[in-house]
Every structure is written in structure tokens, then in C-alpha cells.
Amino acid sequence: MTEQATLETPSTYKIIGTRPIRHDGVDKVTGRALYGADVQLPGLLYGKVLRSPHAHARIRRIDTSQAAKLPGVKAIVTAADMPDVGDKIQELGEGAIGLKYLSANLLATDKALYHGHAVAAVAATNVHIAEEALALIEVEYELLPPVLDVLAAMQPDAPILLDDLRTSEFGQKGAEPTNVAQHIRFQRGDLAAGFAAADVIVEREFTTSTVHQGYIEPQNATALWNSDGAITIWTSTQGAHSARDQVAEVLQLPVTRIKVVPMEIGGGFGGKISIYLEPLAALLSRKAGHKPVKLVMNRAEVLMATGPTSGSAIRVKMGATKAGRITAAEVWMAYEAGGFPGSPVGSGMNVILSPYRIENLLMDGYDVVVNKPRASAYRAPGGTNAAFAAEAVIDELCEKLSMDPLEFRLLNGAQEGDRRGDGPAYRRIGYLETVRAIQESAHYRTPLEGPNRGRGIASGYWGNWGGKSSVSASVNADGQVSLVEGSTDIGGSRTSIAMQLAETLGVSAQAVKPTVVDTDSVAYNDVTGGSRTTFGTGWAAYELGLKLKEEMIARVAELWEIEPAEVAYADGAFTAGEQRLTFKEAAAKLNEDRPIMASATTHAQEYGPGFATHCVDVEVDPETGKVTILRYTAAQDVGQAVHPSYVEGQIQGGVAQGIGWALNEEYFYDSQGHLLNASLLDYRMPVASDLPMIDTILVEVPNPGHPYGVRGVGEVPIVPPAGALANAIYDAVGVRVTHLPMSPAQILEALWAK
């Protein structure tokens, strides 16, 4: 069931808000869409990667001589083939990483820092020979004690992963070697006075396991390093230009030497922003005599060496008055970064309290390296575990105050003028509207009955992003518009961008034909991430539409021998007095003279944040600890929904991933840091039979910072599920589970301890 509520002025749009069939739909449902693993080239070689069997080890020696002698082996590369990249910081579009760490993650240099860390790569005439060659590479390791837990890694006597790492604190580096890469603090008001004014205080500690994005398509890359020095890479990526720039930096090459061709992408969720295989395939190609080389990970490699997002330890303390006003909040959070710095602790800090108006707060966050794969972004990075902690504490406050959780949120919810956790004030936001939408929903108004059943509420926030976008288009003689864009289409953005161009031009969505092209064929586009593409590239499409209209008006005026100001364009037709040309007629006429084309670039900044409130009903089996989800409703401020079906799909997908994170998903390591469940049989993601229909309520509070009121929608929906489920489980069986996942074992332990 879907509800949709536009809360500002009624829509006058003709295209935006409709549900046309997606432009890439036929190729996707017929299996004709081409993914990275489908790439075939003459003389193609196949590569495989040798990975460390140890979580923490110094690499004493690598001997590839026996492997090189194996018939069919064409090239072998190790870190010795990688150039020295120095200490530069590399921007990834969103976020940044030290280049030497990015490079060392691709191929281990002096140390293997996690089980599965790449050590060498082989190219051979077929994949079986490449695998055989891996077994012939001799690596001498000196085993070191692994550090697998964020709190253990922060201890003063913990084994150090990176000898040169010092704690960074807003432009200042610590003096001592450490595993704590960064300390962030948000602070305002008077914390002591805030807690002194509280009638009720709740303080709890939470821990969460390492989880993976779970995209279905494994990482892949095919590269041809041509004999003229030009490099072409076909890959699955959330950002072709970002991938190009990363490859250029780690190989120390000019960006224009490299062309990245983005293939269709079978899911990314943040995990396909960073490069893994691309430089290896390129180096192998060069070393093999300029033959193309394809590398495709298997599922075990994906789980061992890509993704995941951070395990974490979080402590939340909040106080409130008898009337239900929050008086103070204190948060301490430490996130695992994996083998190299860069956990999403900063964004977790942004998420954790942002739905609420809190005058007195202190938040400390720590980015901590441990012997696990380098953490990648994962849909609202760091937000799900953060909200799990805060929303559970808020639920406990509500219980102590005998207050309805939605009324508590209405009393304390942030609105325009209130401040985010990190300080800046909000412009127009729609958080309270999402709370009211749940309050008025059929779900919340229906009493839940039966033993061991419970209902949970939680809210969530994501700040969203703008980023750089570039588009171009030509108006063809038949009146169709060819739109060229560079944003990877993960969730239907070809169509949502085409619709914004169509709306601006006054033509149908199907009159615009979008194509995602390679890095040589369109100017720079930031990654599809941060919920930015429909907002940012959509804005570029709007600007492009204005330019095309202006161009066509000027040329129609030329045709009619009048001034452009005398030509009006509305409802798909150019008019001046009695003269009239439809868009299609004008396209035909004007193309007789010369082509019609334009381009536009944007770097939009006024991305309005998104908020959501979720309601879930569960039944807990007290014998087994299994949680069955009975009903789920997600209300979200989506700004102006460009294509409501895709917005609903984003919400349902985010909720499904959040449920998996909440109830089942986790990395299991043994004491030596070996990943024990590197398969989808043992890494338990939710399947269709685990989930009910996820009902959505689209709350449309247009973003005043976008010409069509667009807000990012993709990330917010993964934030509240874990908190909502924790609260529902408590309501059902009276135990507060403080660890993710809330697996049957965790719930049984909590029940037995009750």
C-alpha cells in the first residue's frame, strides 16, 4: 500500500510525479543489459588475485618465479609494480582517503592487514591456469597478532596496524603511534546543566557487527593498456570519473590517458565507489604485452576484501523532563575502519541525533583501524547503527515517561531553524510531517493484539549531497531528445533525470532518450552516491532544458524573422501571434539548418536533508528467538517525488537492507581474524520470504533549494529499521537487545537473562 501526501502547493507538473516505464527496462528484464562480466575482447586474458590467508602479517618475501613458468601465465604483478604515490589525499567524490592507503589496499606492501588482503595478481590464458598459478606464488609471512574489535584496538597496549598512523583532531596530529585515526567532537550548550534539569536519564551501551552492502554483482574490471599508452577500463562502478581519477592517482598517470566505460551495475550501495581491481587489470595488461585482462571477483572475495561497513561501539545518554522535553544528550561512538582509516563515524555522528532539537550535547567519535577489510560507504554510512542506539534510548525514555513515542518525537522533533548535531541550522525540512504521517496511518491506528507481539517506532535522517554533474543533449529532427549523462544508473536515475529534462522542455518522458556514457564522452560527474543523482544531475538536466529552450526560441524567432522575446513557448509549442510550431515541428525545421544541442554543468549545494519515521509490528518466538515481521510502514519526506514508483522502491529496498542488518547479517571471525562466513549461505541476507510488503508513505515537502523541489531519497530508509525493530522486540517480549544483529541467539540470551 502506498500513500502520497503533498504538503506544499499542489503540483502543476506534467511529467514530474508521473510513473513512466523506465528507459532501460526492456534490456534489464530480458537480460540483454551488459554488465562488466559480459565484456569480451579479442585476445582476452583472465586474471585472479592472490589474497592473504592471515589477518595481520608482515610480508617478508614474495617469489613469483615458479608461477611465471607455468604455461599460459602471461603476467604477474605485486605491490612492487605499483608506483610510489606519496602522502597525497585523494578525493573520492564523497570523502577522501590517503593515496598510499588506497594503493596499499589494492596490493599489500609491507603488511597484510586483513584476511583476504590482495598480495599479487596473475593474468593467464584462462581462469583455471590463473588460479593454478596463484598456488605457485610463494609468500613468506611473519605473523602478527590481529586486532579485531574496535574497543580492543583503542587500548594503549594494542598491536599497532600502521606504524605511521597518528590521531588527527581537526588539523592537529597526535605524537604517538595509535590505531585511532581520527577523533571528531560536536559540542554545544551546557551538558551538566542539561542533565541536572532532567527528571529521567537513560544511558546504554550498544555494539554492532561488521556487515556488507550485499550487492548481487561482484566487483569486476577489464582493462586494455594499449601500446600507445592509452588505457581503457570497463568496470562496475558508482562513478566512472571517480574510478578514472583513482586509477590515475595510484598509477601516477594523467587522467586523460584513461577512459573508464561504466557497465550496468548490479548494486553498489556505496561499495562500488572505491577501486579494487581496475589498476591490477591495467598493470597486468601492460605486462602481458598490451593484451586485455579481465578480473572478476567471486563471492568469497567480495565478502573478504570489499565493502564492508563498520562494526561499532556506541554509548548514548539522554535526559528529559517529566513533560517529555529532551534536556541533554551525550554520545560516544567508535567505528571500525578496517585495515586503513576511513570509517563513517563522522556521518554516524551527523545522523544520530539530527531528528531532534537538543540544546545541550556532547558527541565524541573515533575512527579506529582493525584487522578487517577497509570499510567502504554503505547506504547512509554509519547511520543505521547510530540510530539503532539513539532510537532505543529514546524509546526507553518514552517508557519511563509513560509517553507515546510519536508524541515525544513531535515535542522534540527538529524543524526549520533548529540545529543539526554538527551545528548549522536547518532550512525547510519535513521531519515532523513524517511523524504525523505515521500517527495518521492505518497501521498505527490499528491496535496490535496477541502474545509476544510488539510495535516499534524509530526515526532517521540523512543529510544528502549535491556534487558535480554534467549533461548534454541534442534535439533530433524527429523531435526526440538524446540525453547524454555520466551518472551511473543504480536506482532508475536515467528516467528520473530524463523526466526533469522532459518537464523543462515540455515534452513527454519517452521523448527523451537517456544514455550513460564513458569518461571521454561527457564532462565530470561525481559518483552516484550520497543520494545525489536525481537531485544534482536532475538539476543539470533542468539547466540543460533551459538552454535548449532558449536556443530553440532564438532560432524559431530567426525563422519567423522576429525578436526572440516575441516567441512564447508553452505546452510543447512555440507561438507568436498566429504563428505556431510544435516542439516536434520546430525540431524538424531547425535541424534543416544546423543541429540543436546544448550542455550544462552544476555543482548544486542546497541539498535538503531527508527524514523518515518508521513503524513496525513483530512477533517474537520465545522458544527460538526468531523475529517475524508482521507489518512495516515507512513514512519519508521525499521532497518532490519525481517518479513515485522509484521512490517507493528506494524506500522498500532501504528498509529491506536495514532489516537484514538488524536481525541477521554479521561477519564471523575466529580469534585469528579469519572470516568464517564468506558466502551468501552463511552470511544471512533477507530474502523475499523474510519480509512482509513494506508500505510506504511519501511525504512531499519540496526542497526549496532545487528547481523541482527534489530531495535525495535513497539513504534515509536504511537508517530507522534497526531502531524500530529493537523497540518492537522490547514491546513484544520485554528485553532490550543492545547488539546488532538481534539474531535469534541474541534474543534468546536476553530472554534467558531476564
Partner 1 sequence: MATVWIPSLLRDLTGGALHVAVPGEKVRDLIAALDARYPGLAARLVEDGALRHGIVLTVDGVANRQGLRARVQPDSEVHFVPAIGGG
Q: Which residues contact 500 (CB under 8 A, 6 or more apart)?
A: 16, 534, 538, 539, 541, 542, 545, 642, 708, 710
* Residue closer to partner 1, measured from CB, 307 or 324: 307
Question: Would you give the end-to-end CA distance of the chain in angstroms?
Answer: 37
* Residue closer to partner 1, measured from CB, 346 or 514: 346
- Within 715-734, the residues that bind partner 1 by CB under 8 A are 715
Q: Which residues contact 495 (CB under 8 A, 6 or more apart)?
A: 20, 22, 23, 24, 509, 514, 643, 646
Q: Does the protein bind partner 1 through residue 170 (CB under 8 A)? A: yes
Interface pick for partner 1 out of 239, 262, 279, 344 (rule CB under 8 A):
344
Q: Does the protein bind partner 1 through residue 169 (CB under 8 A)? A: yes
- Within 459-478, the residues that bind partner 1 by CB under 8 A are 462-466
DSSP 299-356: HHHHHHHS--B--EEEEEEEEE-TT--EEEEEEEEEEEEETSS--THHHHHHHHTTTB
* Rounded distance between C-alpha atoms, residue 240 and residue 519, angstroms: 6
Q: Which stretch binds partner 1 (CB under 8 A): 88-96, 478-486, 511-519, 635-643?
A: 88-96
**β-pair partners for 627:** 620
- Give the shortest CB-207-to-partner 1 separation in angstroms: 22
* Rounded distance between C-alpha atoms, residue 219 and residue 307, angstroms: 10
Beta strand 200-208 with 220-225 is: unpaired
Handedness of CA 171, 175, 180, 184 (dihedral sign): negative
- Within 410-439, the residues that bind partner 1 by CB under 8 A are 422-427
- Are 617 and 631 in contact by the 8 Å Cβ rule? The answer is yes
How many chain residues touch partner 1 (CB under 8 A)? 54
* Residue closer to partner 1, measured from CB, 347 or 459: 347
Q: Which stretch binds partner 1 (CB under 8 A): 115-123, 323-331, 376-384, 667-675?
A: 376-384
Torsion on CA atoms 25, 27, 28, 31, rounded to nearest 10? 150
Q: Which residues contact 171 (CB under 8 A, 6 or more apart)?
A: none
* Residue closer to partner 1, measured from CB, 117 or 379: 379
Q: Does the protein bind partner 1 through residue 379 (CB under 8 A)? A: yes
For residues 292 to 331, the per-residue mask of contacts with partner 1, x marking binding by CB under 8 A and - elsewhere, is ----------------------------------------
* Rounded distance between C-alpha atoms, residue 272 and residue 276, angstroms: 9
Nearest to 633 by CA among 442, 385, 460: 442
* Rounded distance between C-alpha atoms, residue 386 and residue 378, angstroms: 13
- Give the shortest CB-615-to-partner 1 separation in angstroms: 24
- Within 555-584, the residues that bind partner 1 by CB under 8 A are none
* Residue closer to partner 1, measured from CB, 360 or 519: 360
* Rounded distance between C-alpha atoms, residue 83 and residue 322, angstroms: 63
- Give the shortest CB-348-to-partner 1 separation in angstroms: 9
* Residue closer to partner 1, measured from CB, 524 or 569: 524
* Residue closer to partner 1, measured from CB, 185 or 580: 185
| Number of helical (H) and strand (E) elements in the chain, helices listed first | 20, 30
Q: Does the protein bind partner 1 through residue 593 (CB under 8 A)? A: no
Q: Does the protein bind partner 1 through residue 709 (CB under 8 A)? A: no
Grid coordinates standing for 654? Answer: 532501504
Q: Does the protein bind partner 1 through residue 701 (CB under 8 A)? A: no
- Give the shortest CB-531-to-partner 1 separation in angstroms: 6
Q: Which stretch binds partner 1 (CB under 8 A): 239-247, 530-538, 619-627, 678-686?
A: 530-538
* Rounded distance between C-alpha atoms, residue 31 and residue 177, angstroms: 52
Interface pick for partner 1 out of 1, 21, 34, 89 (rule CB under 8 A):
89
* Residue closer to partner 1, measured from CB, 45 or 97: 97
Interface pick for partner 1 out of 17, 95, 279, 639 (rule CB under 8 A):
95
* Residue closer to partner 1, measured from CB, 417 or 692: 417
Strands (E), 440-576: 453-462, 468-475, 481-485, 512-516, 568-570, 573-576
Q: Does the protein bind partner 1 through residue 531 (CB under 8 A)? A: yes
Q: Does the protein bind partner 1 through residue 191 (CB under 8 A)? A: no
Say how far residue 156 (Cα) sits from the centre of its chain: 33
- Within 252-271, the residues that bind partner 1 by CB under 8 A are 268-271
Interface pick for partner 1 out of 106, 260, 380, 483 (rule CB under 8 A):
380
What burial letters (b/e) apply to 204-237, b meaning 16+ CB within 10 Å? Answer: bebbbbbbbbbbebbbbbbbbbeeeeebbbbbbb
Q: Does the protein bind partner 1 through residue 92 (CB under 8 A)? A: yes
**β-pair partners for 482:** 474, 513
Interface pick for partner 1 out of 112, 113, 130, 184 (rule CB under 8 A):
184
Backbone angles phi, psi at 597, to 5 degrees: -150, 160
CA angle in degrees (0–180, nearest 5) for 181-187-188: 170
Q: Does the protein bind partner 1 through residue 530 (CB under 8 A)? A: yes
* Residue closer to partner 1, measured from CB, 603 or 626: 603
Question: Grid cell 601500446 — which residue?
Answer: 227
Interface pick for partner 1 out of 563, 606, 623, 682 (rule CB under 8 A):
606
* Residue closer to partner 1, measured from CB, 92 or 567: 92
Q: Which stretch binds partner 1 (CB under 8 A): 15-23, 41-49, 602-610, 631-639?
A: 602-610
* Residue closer to partner 1, measured from CB, 173 or 445: 173
Contacting positions for partner 1 (CB under 8 A): 89, 91-92, 94-96, 169-172, 183-188, 213, 268-271, 273, 344, 346-347, 349-350, 376-381, 422-427, 462-466, 529-532, 603, 605-607, 705, 715
